[in-house]
């Protein structure tokens, strides 16, 4: 690790000011991703600005217009176990608890979760070419061991996936990300926050250097009656999703009034399909219809040497998870498939 300075920011403004001191200056929250990346020399920094002691944004607040505001500096664990989240946004709680381990969730923050980097093996190994780490150097994964890589929205420069579970639920719940920066405050719809790789896989999202995430807004609709999170992975806990699905349904007499289906582990951002969700609207909540939605959502999916299985897997996972959402109590700990 290089030498770097470390300082604690006291307010959001203070944090924003401090991070202007140089292009390499970085915020650190839980440190569960950033510190690893520094140890692997994937990220170098000359100044770390600790945001854990910033005034405000450590709690959940009710918003005037309905819905709630999640503080960016609150931990993933506190968020998942908060009674409001458990009761009104259980999909979010389930998704968070499907991620990482108890120890990591106790450190990880909501802001940091949105900004975690991909788990592509090559990205973490500085001795291999990687366009995301070193633009223009090439992509080792395309012709390499790509079992964990993307099947949707990938590009010729990068086929990495965004690994978060929490963000899959946030995408389904249509959250909003609140940002402060040197030029004032702004908000981004969740689907506009993360990016597809295109020709610039080094840019994961639309946050600019110098900007800080202060909070995440959730609309009042929490889909607490019909929701489910399913995560498929190589072991029952403490592994990233090969495919995950967040489903939120609004039903009326067995008819789907509104549906949200977001996929994790398949693309450079949580994946939603407007066509798929539109198809389901007004249809009966049946396995047949869920199967058709799955086909629509996976339209255009493409696999590489080792990951083509994800296409069929994602389809089946969507169907199962929609079925689970009809009876949310069939969900098992660890977001495992229902019995």
If binding is defined by CB under 6 A, does position 141 make contact with ligand SF4? yes
If binding is defined by CB under 6 A, does position 151 make contact with ligand SF4? no
If binding is defined by CB under 6 A, does position 194 make contact with ligand SF4? no
Footprint of ligand FAD on 120-139 (CB under 6 A)? none
Distance in angstroms (rounded) separating the CA atoms of residues 310 and 329: 26
Stretches 156-164, 179-187, 226-234, 308-316: which one binds ligand SF4 (CB under 6 A)? Answer: 156-164
If binding is defined by CB under 6 A, does position 148 make contact with ligand SF4? no
If binding is defined by CB under 6 A, does position 201 make contact with ligand SF4? yes
Among another protein, ligand SF4, ligand FAD, none, partner that 158 touches (CB below 5 to 8 angstroms by kind): ligand SF4
Contact string 160-179 vs ligand FAD (x = CB under 6 A): ---xxxx-------------
Question: What's the closest the beta carbon of residue 178 comes to another protein, in angstroms?
Answer: 31
Torsion over CA: 95, 122, 202, 47 (sign): positive
3-state secondary structure the chain: CCCCEEEECCCHHHHHHHHCCCCCCEEECCCCCHHHHHHCCCCCCCEEEECCCCCCCCCEEECCCCCEEEECCCEHHHHHCCHHHHHHCHHHHHHHHCCCCHHHHHHCEHHHHHCCCCCCCCCCCCCCCECCCCCCCCECCCCCCCCCCCCCCCCCCCCCCCCCCHHHHHHHCCCEEEEEECCEEEEEEHHHHECCCCCCCCCCECCCCCCEEEEEEECCCCCCCCEEEEEECCCCCCCCCCEEEEEEEEEECCEEEEEEEEEECCCCCCEECHHHHHHHCCCECCHHHHHHHHHHHCCCCCCCCCCCHHHHHHHHHHHHHHHHHHCHHHCCHHHCCCC
Distance in angstroms (rounded) separating the CA atoms of residues 290 and 123: 35
Footprint of ligand SF4 on 222-261 (CB under 6 A)? none
Candidates 212, 256, 266, 298; binder of ligand FAD (CB under 6 A) is 212
If binding is defined by CB under 6 A, does position 160 make contact with ligand SF4? yes
- Beta strands 5-8; 47-50: pairing state: parallel
If binding is defined by CB under 6 A, does position 276 make contact with ligand FAD? no
Among ligand SF4, another protein, ligand FAD, none, partner that 232 touches (CB below 5 to 8 angstroms by kind): another protein
Candidates 64, 274, 329, 339; binder of another protein (CB under 8 A) is 339
If binding is defined by CB under 6 A, does position 31 make contact with ligand FAD? yes
Footprint of ligand SF4 on 120-139 (CB under 6 A)? 120, 122-123, 130-132, 139
Among another protein, ligand SF4, ligand FAD, none, partner that 283 touches (CB below 5 to 8 angstroms by kind): none
Distance in angstroms (rounded) separating the CA atoms of residues 323 and 181: 43
Distance in angstroms (rounded) separating the CA atoms of residues 80 and 89: 9
Distance in angstroms (rounded) separating the CA atoms of residues 199 and 180: 27
CB 296 within 8 A of CB 315: no
- Measured from the CB atom, is 221 or 316 closer to another protein? 316
Question: What's the closest the beta carbon of residue 303 comes to ligand SF4, in angstroms?
Answer: 14
Candidates 12, 19, 158, 317; binder of ligand SF4 (CB under 6 A) is 158
If binding is defined by CB under 8 A, does position 337 make contact with another protein? yes
Chain residues that interact with ligand FAD, rule: CB under 6 A:
26-34, 36, 51, 72, 76, 99-100, 104, 107-109, 111-113, 115-116, 163-166, 212-213, 240
Q: Which residues bind ligand SF4 (CB under 6 A)?
A: 118, 120, 122-123, 130-132, 139-141, 158-160, 201
Q: Tell me which residues touch another protein (CB under 8 A).
A: 1-3, 41, 119, 121-122, 125, 127-128, 140, 143-145, 232, 234-239, 242, 309-310, 312-313, 316-317, 319-320, 333-334, 336-339
């Amino acid at each position: 690790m290089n030498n770097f300075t470390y300082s604690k920011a006291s307010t959001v403004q203070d944090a924003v000011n401090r991070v202007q001191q140089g292009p390499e200056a970085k915020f650190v929250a839980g440190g569960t991703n950033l510190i690893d990346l520094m140890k692997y020399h994937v990220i170098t920094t000359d100044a770390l600005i600790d945001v854990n002691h910033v005034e405000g944004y450590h709690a959940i607040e009710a918003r005037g217009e309905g819905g709630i505001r999640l503080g960016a500096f609150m931990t993933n664990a506190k968020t998942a176990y908060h009674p409001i989240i458990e009761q009104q946004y259980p999909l979010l709680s389930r998704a968070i608890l499907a991620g990482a381990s108890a120890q990591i969730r106790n450190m990880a923050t909501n802001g940091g979760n949105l900004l975690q980097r991909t788990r592509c093996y090559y990205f973490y190994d500085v001795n291999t070419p990687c366009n995301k780490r070193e633009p223009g150097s090439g992509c080792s994964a395309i012709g390499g061991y790509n079992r964990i890589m993307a099947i949707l929205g990938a590009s010729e420069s990068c086929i990495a996936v965004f690994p978060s579970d929490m963000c899959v639920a946030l995408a389904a719940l249509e959250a909003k990300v609140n940002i402060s920066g040197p030029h004032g405050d702004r908000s981004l719809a969740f689907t506009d926050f993360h990016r597809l790789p295109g020709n610039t896989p080094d840019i994961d999202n639309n946050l600019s250097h110098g900007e800080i995430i202060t909070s995440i807004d959730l609309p009042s609709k929490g889909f607490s009656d019909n929701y489910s999170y399913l995560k498929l992975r190589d072991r029952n806990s403490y592994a990233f999703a090969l495919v995950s699905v967040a489903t939120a349904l609004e039903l009326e007499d067995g008819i789907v009034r509104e549906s949200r289906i977001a996929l994790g582990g398949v693309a450079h951002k949580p994946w939603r399909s407007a066509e798929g969700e539109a198809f389901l609207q007004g249809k009966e909540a049946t396995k047949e219809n869920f199967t058709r939605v799955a086909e629509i959502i996976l339209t255009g999916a493409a696999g590489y040497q080792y990951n083509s299985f994800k296409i069929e897997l994602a389809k089946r996972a969507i169907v199962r998870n929609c079925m689970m959402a009809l009876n949310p109590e069939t969900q098992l700990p660890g977001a495992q498939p229902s019995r």
